[in-house]
Structure 1
Amino acid sequence: MRPVTGPIRVLIVDDHRLFTQALELLLRGEDDIQVLGAAETGEEAIEFCRRTPVDVALVDIDLPGMDGIAVTSRLQEAHPEIRVVVITAYQQPDVIARAVRAGASGYIMKTDAADTLVSAIRFAVAGKMVLPAGRLAPTMSPSGRWLQSEPTPPGGRQPSGEAGRRQGMLSDRETEILEAISEGVSTTDMAARLAISEGTVRSHVKSILSKLEVHSKAEAVMKGVRLGLIGGARPGVG
């Protein structure tokens, strides 16, 4: 993604005009955010991004024709520099999982406070991720696989490019710990489960954050899922 030196360029993708207008009004009150326009369908959004540089696309799930998850996947394939923040009324964990797999950098509710949306846009540009609080762990099984979701990214492709190079970058123990983090397991319980000290767990967590170049456990889980390190097929895992 380009270094953002000017206002963050935002495209709104939603077919509800009243909501779009309210969102535009809200965002235009932010000095560091520029609303470039709005698209009512996924096809319009893809065409807009083909013609106009966009930093962040705010994408609704429930769109006519191509749904928001498909739009997210298409945008990430054609324009990986664009950060997609899903903004929707859907709160189901499996939908969140599918959005993350498609490449979303954030997932927020339409009922969230305005400052949550604004923060999500800024976090996305900074390479950070935002998820609904308390809704990440239920999307994953104890084995680290997404529930009610495909075992591979959209289109049946395995991660490639940077994602492919990063596979295997975590040790087996670090992968175990990252999976445990995704389940919401505490440091104390993690230590007991793996028969290691809490200090060793914290040391592994620090190493995971460093290797994945993130700043929090939530970001580590999100990035691990997107890179195929957890939550799907990994080398040696059927």
Structure 2
Amino acid sequence: MNSGAGNAGKTRLLLADDHEMLLEMFAIYLRTNHDFEVVTARSFDEAVERIEAEGPFDVALLDWNMPGMHGVAGLKRALQLQGGRPVGIITGEALPKVIDETVAAGAAGIVLKSSGVRSLVNALNLILSGERYLPFDLVMRRADPNEESNDTLTKREMLILVEIAKGKRNKEICADLRLALPTVKMHVSSLCRKLGAKNRLHATVIARDLGLI
């Protein structure tokens, strides 16, 4: 599939995310290992400029919480600009309400940043085939919205999360918050579990996408 100007035979993808390191990692992998011509943007306004100047793209994948996106409002505008070509959402975490809103608005799928590059390729291929992509765990969460009702971060976990986002190590957090090291470690493990994060960096990405920090 190919639209507009670009390399013949390549699928043209617009990938928009304000997390620069993640954006470049995904873009480099798709350009190097798969038949994608990737155009990147770091805000919704830049994504709109790209679509207007170079689109529509075969598929657009937009960060749910990047500057200017404003959730469903941004998704609907992107769908209009794409002229019927698919627009998917990429996010660190998706609550049941977000899933319902994006599906109802016409999103071609939701891709979790934690899924990795191989899952990203699978998602894009499914979307390009005309199907809607939702990871299995999101489908289960949508079916049971109360699944995470006991996973709200405590005030202390939020304090520690803010310190982690500043790049502080456990010993620094201990000193600043006057907590024992085992206590900090326990809360870090707990907040990572509640956020579904693999590590501290992943926890900050998810928390930012959820608007927690």
TM bracket (short chain): 0.5 to 0.7
Residues matched between the structures, number: 140
Between stretches 121-130 and 66-75, larger displacement belongs to 66-75
Large movers: runs of 4+ above 6 Å: 1-5
Superposed, 1:121-132 pairs within 5 Å as 121-132=124-135
Deviation at 1:68, TM superposition (A): 4.4
- The unaligned stretches of length 5 or more in structure 1 are 142-238
Q: 1:83 aligns with which of 62, 69, 86?
A: 86
Report the 3-state secondary structure (helix = DSSP H, G, I; strand = E; otherwise coil) of the residue aligned with 1:29. helix
Please give the TM-score of this superposition, normalised by the length of structure 2: 0.59
- Cα separation, 2, equivalents of 1:96 and 1:34: 28
Aligned counterpart for 2:51 among listed residues 49, 52, 62: 49
In the TM superposition, what whole-angstrom CA distance separates every residue of 1:163-208 from its partner, at most 9, and x where no partner exists? xxxxxxxxxxxxxxxxxxxxxxxxxxxxxxxxxxxxxxxxxxxxxx
Per-residue deviation, 1:114: 1.7
**Equivalent pairs: percent with the same residue?**
31
**1:95 maps to what in 2?**
98
Cα drift, residue 140 of structure 1? 6.3
TM-score by length of 1: 0.53
Deviations 1:141-175 (A, max 9, x none): 9xxxxxxxxxxxxxxxxxxxxxxxxxxxxxxxxxx
- Look up the SS of the partner of 2:32 in the other structure: coil
Distance in 2, matches of 1:112 and 1:129, equals 16
Q: CA deviation at 1:81?
A: 2.9
CA 1:135/1:31 → structure 2, altered by over 3 Å: closer, same or farther? closer
Cα deviation 1:19-63 (Å, max 9, x = unaligned)? 11111111112342111x211111211121111121111111111
C-alpha contact (below 8 Å) 1:120/1:130 kept by paired residues: yes
Instruction: Tell me, yes or no, if the aligned pair for 2:30 and 2:36 is still in contact at 8 Å.
Output: yes
The structure with more helix, counted as a fraction of residues: 2
**1:78 shift after superposition:** 2.6
- Structure 2: which 5+ residue stretches go unaligned? 145-213
Residues 1:104 and 2:107 are matched in the alignment: yes
2:41 aligned to 39, 51, 54, which one? 39
Task: Give the C-alpha shift of residue 104 in structure 1.
Answer: 1.1
